[in-house]
Amino acid sequence: MVQTLTQNERRTSVDDVFDTLHEQIATLQLKPGDRISEADIAAQFGVSRQPVRDAFSRLANLDLLLIRPQRATEVRRFSMRKIEKARFIRAAIEKEVICRAAARCDAEGETLLSAALAEQEAATAAKDVERFGQLDYAFHEVLCSIAGVDYAFEVILEEKAKVDRLCMLGIEKEQRIPELLADHKEIANAVIAHDTDAAVEACLKHLSRLDVTIERITATNANYFESETA
């Protein structure tokens, strides 16, 4: 109880503003290019402008807000260069993780993967998008654990977060879930069979699912992306 109270006491108005805006940006309630003001947010939360300014700064450090002196603050548009960089880093790391997982997977690893897939199947049947999203992260964490490189998941998590907002603009997640589940099954089966080549191929195919989303969004919502001179 003492620990819980201490944690609650440490929470500040900056945290409240940050968490709310982060959620709104991540779920595209606030879209790329949307303008927001310190004054409006301060009034919304009933706080002074300083905690809002601090929350804005934290969001800017995550590349989610663009703060420009004497100009309106806006939700950061997507940068193709940063997207390509994040995907390159993640693909390189995931490939190494998959290779190691396929080489090291034992009976315990197979049990973990089977359990992970069973949970994903249940979430798919229930059309529970939020739950499946959580299990998606957990699946990649299990692969890192089997590979003996738990620390790699931290990097994957960081790079994945950079494109998750873009994924939200793709087709409805309920429609994508069966496809993603099939990818996970293909990866897991290859890892369990110690088939490194097949596992890597399945993993890279899984990561390439974003290509179609990027092509469609750049064609229909070019204003969501930074210009080359931005």
- Beta-carbon count within 10 A of 178 CB: 11
Enclosing H/E stretch for 66:
strand 65-66
Handedness of CA 224, 206, 162, 139 (dihedral sign): positive
Enclosing H/E stretch for 116:
helix 107-125
Tell which wins on pLDDT, 133 or 57: 57
- Angle formed by the axes of helices 38-45 and 49-61, to 10°? 120
Question: Secondary structure of the chain: what % helix, strand, coil (to 5)?
Answer: 75, 5, 25
Query: What is the reported pLDDT for 118?
Result: 98
| pLDDT over 80 (residue 68) | yes
Dihedrals phi, psi of 164, to nearest 5 degrees: -60, -35
Q: Quick one: average pLDDT of 175-179? A: 86
Dihedrals phi, psi of 221, to nearest 5 degrees: -135, 60
Residue type, 63: D
Name the residue ranges covered by the structural domains of the chain. Answer: 7-75, 80-220
Fold: same for 7-75 and 80-220: no
| Model pLDDT for residues 33-56, shown as the tens digit of each residue | 999 999 999 999 999 999 999 999
Question: 129 in helix, strand or coil?
Answer: helix
Choose the CATH number for 80-220 among 1.20.120.530, 1.20.140.10, 1.10.287.80, 2.30.30.280: 1.20.120.530
Assigned CATH topology for domain 7-75: Arc Repressor Mutant, subunit A (1.10.10)
Distances (CA, A) of 152 to 79, 90, 107, 146, 158: 24, 10, 22, 11, 10
Query: What is the reported pLDDT for 74?
Result: 95
Query: What is the reported pLDDT for 6?
Result: 43
Query: What is the reported pLDDT for 67?
Result: 94
Q: Which two tokens stand for residue 95?
A: 């490939």
First to last CA, the chain: 50
pTM of the model: 0.79
Query: What is the reported pLDDT for 166?
Result: 81
Q: Which residues contact 176 (CB under 8 A, 6 or more apart)?
A: 170, 209
